[in-house]
Amino acid sequence: MVKDDKRRLIASLEIVTSVGLILFWLAFFTVGLAPDKAPPCYFAYENSFPFPDTLLAILLLVAGERLLRSRPGGRPLSLIAAGALVFLGLLDFSFNLQNGIYMTSTIDLVLNAFINVWCVGFGLAIAVLIGRKPVA
């Protein structure tokens, strides 16, 4: 079972990640986070993400809140969010690598690599730390 301090840290990071997802899409559509030399498929690809990412943000927010307050559902919702984060990070990594997004600029490399590593790494951390269950 996860100790209280680890549980609180994971819950807090789930909430921060949720807010980060929402802020990313707000910035994407207002400030414009697209690479200068985006491939033709870039916007079709990116425009398919706001809806599922919003659902993931809500899931992370609810999971984090439930986990933070030791309420029922926090653990299973966190595990679902973990799988979604890993999938999102790997899918985005694959697209970025295949379409040269990492090479468009240093800012695109740093921003996209951070997002991809965060999603996969944090998702795996949640799965490992929250997924541990004492043997009966």
Sign of the C-alpha dihedral computed for residues 68, 70, 75 and 80 taken in this order: negative
How many angstroms separate the CA atoms of 50 and 79, rounded?
21
Q: Label residue 136 by pLDDT band (50, 70, 90).
A: very low
- pLDDT digit string (tens) for 9-63? 999 999 999 999 999 999 999 998 888 788 889 999 999 999 999 999 999 999 9
